[in-house]
Amino acid sequence: MEWKKAPAELVDFINEKMKDKNCDYKKMFGYPAYFFNGNMFVGVHGDKLYLRLSDTDTAEIMKDCKSVTAFEPMPGRAMKGYVILPKPVYSDDKLFEEYLNKSINYISKLPPKKEGKKKTQ
């Protein structure tokens, strides 16, 4: 499967939104992603922005914003709790901040992820 290069505008957008947040930056799927206690909660995949939400918040945003869809890094492989926010949604500063804060609140209550074991050869 061939990955799309992330638009610089989208990468700059997410990096700017996250600069004052208490979180860690890593690359996931070769794209920028942000983590709290080892739990990924927001990032870029190709030309899309994804966000992790609770089941309740996922249902709410998908009901209120019909263009929000499940995040599938590979077709048919949806990641539970993650949604794609289309540009009209993430461009709305108030709406984006509301759901970003819901995401941060949700993941801050999750147990920290432990470092995985490194494979030996």
Mean pLDDT of the chain: 90
pLDDT score of 42 more than 60? yes
Q: What is the DSSP letter of 92?
A: S
CATH number for the domain harbouring residue 82: 3.90.1150.30
Residue 2, in any domain of the structure: no
Sign of the torsion angle spanned by Cα atoms 52, 54, 59, 63: negative
With a pLDDT cut of 70, the percent of the chain lying above it is 92
Average pLDDT over residues 15-29: 92
Number of structural domains (the chain) is 1
Question: Dihedrals φ, ψ of 69, to 5°?
Answer: -130, 170
Number of helices and strands (H, E) in the chain?
Answer: 4, 6
Which residue range(s) make up the domain with 40?
Answer: 8-108
Question: Is residue 33 a part of any domain in this protein?
Answer: yes
What tens digit of pLDDT does each residue of 97-115 get? 999 999 999 999 999 987 6
Q: Is residue 115 part of a domain?
A: no
* pLDDT value for 5: 86
Give which of 66, 57, 68 is closest to 90, Cα–Cα: 68
* Residue 120 located in a structural domain: no
pLDDT exceeds cutoff 60 at 51: yes
